[in-house]
Amino acid sequence: MTAPKQIKLTLIRSLAKRLPKHKACVHGLGLKRMHQTVTVTATPENMGMVNKVSYMLRIEEV
């Protein structure tokens, strides 16, 4: 069995003056401040949040 695919996310834009749903997606992905990087599993739930706020993130495959 293969390991689940991982993606590395970095917040590159501020959360100031963003839609509440977009802020919630960023917090749901585990990001709290600018230039913070987290690694998450590429589940459909996480990928939906990433797609919604992709304009604020740097996305890299691990």
The Cα 22–Cα 57 span in angstroms is 12
Which structural domain range is residue 15 located in? Answer: 6-61
Predicted TM-score (pTM) of the model is 0.92
For residue 1, is it within any domain? no
pLDDT of residue 30: 98
17-48 residue pLDDT tens: 999 999 999 999 999 999 999 999 999 999 99
**Higher per-residue pLDDT: 3 or 22:** 22
How many structural domains are present in the chain?
A: 1
For residue 41, is it within any domain? yes
- Domain of 32: which CATH number? 3.30.1390.20
Tokens 């959360």, residue? 15
Helix (H) or strand (E) holding 40: strand 37-41
Residue 49, judged by CB atoms within 10 A of its CB (0-12, 13-18, 19+), counts as buried
Asked if residue 12 has pLDDT above 80, the reply is yes
Whole-number Cα distances in Å, 29 to 1, 2, 62 = 25, 23, 16
